[in-house]
Amino acid sequence: MKTPSPIPEGPSLASLRRASVMAVVIAVVLVVTAVLPAEYGIDPTGIGRRIGLTQMGRLKQELAKEAIEDARADSVAAAAAAGK
């Protein structure tokens, strides 16, 4: 009869902490260099401008403002039509 092999130990607490810290650092770098320029037109590092993400983010912001203005105009027109 074979004896079961021992259960391998998982990673140490120190290596889990190190991996977690590295994951958070990478996430922050990605947010600052890619997400902020692409989504909001905010570019604290200048990298987004060089690769075109800042322009895309600013365009998205302008389109969102126009959509809000169009929605307001539509609701005003609908209210005026309902009041007649």
Percent pLDDT > 90 in the chain is: 51
Tens-digit pLDDT profile for residues 16-31: 999 999 999 999 999 9
What pLDDT is stored for residue 41 in this prediction?
Answer: 86
Q: Domain count of the chain?
A: 1
For residue 50, tell me if it sits in a domain. yes
For residue 2, tell me if it sits in a domain. no
For residue 44, tell me if it sits in a domain. yes
For residue 7, tell me if it sits in a domain. no
Question: What are the phi and psi torsion angles at 46 (to 5°)?
Answer: 90, -10
pLDDT at 33 over 90: yes
CB atoms within 10 A of CB 33: 18
For residue 75, tell me if it sits in a domain. yes
Tens-digit pLDDT profile for residues 50-74: 988 888 888 988 999 999 999 999 8
The residue length of the chain stands at 84
What pLDDT is stored for residue 27 in this prediction?
Answer: 98
Statement: the pTM of the whole predicted model exceeds 0.85? no
For residue 15, tell me if it sits in a domain. no
